[in-house]
Structure 1
Amino acid sequence: EMVQALQIVRGERLNRGIPIDLVTDPNQTGIIGYEYSEITSTPGELEAKRTTTNPDMAALMVSFFKELGLSRGDIVVVGSSGSFPSLYIACLSACEAMGLAPLSIISLMASEYGANIPGFNFLDMVTALKEAGKTAFYPGAVSIGGESDSGKGVSSDVIGKLETQIESSGLQYFRNPSLKEGTQERLDWLNELIGERPIKAFVNIGGATANVGTDPIFLYLKPGVNHISQYAPFETGGLLYALARQGIPVIHLLYVKGLVAQNGLPWDPIPLPSELSLQRKLLGVSEKAAMATLFLAYWAIALLLRLRGARTLRHRLGLFDRQR
């Protein structure tokens, strides 16, 4: 699923005439952005961005969801900046594989090498996925992102273009520069959508202020699954801590080097692992079990062909009628 989604994004980039830089993106994923652009919010590590394009990131997300005991139909809220579009795709691929119900809020500003290409930003990517039939990847809401979640410091012309794009998308647009009020607006929106149904997990991707807040306590979150017991104040905690206060577990995806080191995935792999590796992990099948299954399938097919061949031969020899 993730491999296919990345191919769609890559194809859309090329269709828009935006070439792939083989120096920054040697695996030619098409999802690595520029070092700097007018919608770049903060510094970013190129190797970290490349690491997240590994299709096994989707398998890792499946393992996190299984660790939390999630099952088909469970609601997962996803808050993602434009800094790690590959992690967003990995997360939504895992949701689709497990039949989960994601509710996503994305922001359009991005750190270096993220979804920071003018004319091919995060919203462009998810729109391409939606138009290719992957509607589950399309978010329910969007914000500008960056400082104060409103692109503070970015030129008014750039903000105007982004707002025009957002308005044409028809998505819920969060634009309140107040962290406290913006957090409450997100909570109200979620409550209106889901009613009494419980949120089973919150996935934070990147470091959007609207999600992680401004309190330095978020720096103590570990990569992956967190069951939070110490909270930032509501005024400074963002959506992550507002949901954690309700007892909702958090999957935190920001410190990529720690994430892969703790989970046995390679750092900056060139080339990327194969799709077959991803499929085995998504299905929870070990390599030996997968090979055994293939072996049995091979012999079953061989036996079937052999029986069909014998039956045909008996017909030719006139033996079939005599045996009935």
Structure 2
Amino acid sequence: MNTFKVLGLTALTASVLLCSNSFAGDKVSTGSKSLKLSGRIQLQHLFNNDIESSGEKTTNGFRIRRGRLQAKGSVNDFVSYKFQIEVRDNSPKLKDALGKIKLNDNLSLTVGQFHVPVWREELRSSGNLLLVERGAAAEFLADKNFSARHIGAELGVSLGFATLQINYSNGSGEGEKETAGSSKSADVNNGKLITSRVNVPVGEMAEIGLSVGFAGLGADFYTDDDDAVVSNKGNGIFFAPDFGIKLPVGIDIEGGLAMGTIDKDVIGATDDQSFTVFDLTARWGTKFDTIENFGGLDGFEFAAGFSSVEPNSEIDDDEELSIRFGPALNFGKKVRFQLNGEMTKPADKASDDTFAIRSQFTINF
């Protein structure tokens, strides 16, 4: 067994032992001021009735959607941290690795890999999404490297009536480095991403947010001829207002709109392309006395959402529309079962509409 395997097994064993001694997020005594361990297991099943059953393709199946371990805590009164890994498909992946320094009561600095401040649904924990998955609008922004996790630094400001975040990152996604002096490649964004977000509470039940961003997209890379450079570099800009409402009758409503432009060189088009994405989701939930003979069931929810993705506003009838809906059962605060129907009208008008049933069982520990 080589050295890397030995080190890997040693680290994994130590992590398992540490987690077993601190199950359910108990605090552990370490060199830090505090340490809290937690995790998430999400088993998902997908059935797609539009896949023709044959010897080559399966119409349904299980997957581990998320298998995560997280450590968070504080080093002292001014410095906190968070470290999260995901093990899925037998391949570990770094999700969050950040340190946050409290400069004063109104100012903080966060460095590392974490979510950039864009799109309310993207910033919501995967363990508490209104529906099984984030919507198509959130997926579009993440695919364009406008949102989700990136490596960088962020300044947080409390304005009293609002919060402000200013983020500067590589803009190339999770784990993608852009070390100064390293060779450029087509896989690493040679530009950078600058994003900012302001979030304003409106009374006790609502919030309004606005995110804006400027991205240097694409890359320079060498062909077989070392002197020849191929480039698809360009810029992308966007702004994205969103809102969240929490009503006392158990109803949560979230929505967002994002509009922007991507340079033609980035996508290999003849003209710059403007995009518009929209999402609206609502959830109603109620609590009741625990049913001990049914796994501790104590809550019921029903949620529905609509998403629209128009990748090029210059082309008529190119929107992808999707509707998702379904119930959820809660077994205490940390266990949840969701069942969603998903109807999608693809942008390609020659393609048929699709319908899928996606279910997910979540355990937070």
- TM-score (structure 1 length as normaliser): 0.29
- Larger Rg belongs to: 1
- TM-score (structure 2 length as normaliser): 0.27
**In proportion to residue count, which structure has more strand?**
2
**In proportion to residue count, which structure has more helix?**
1
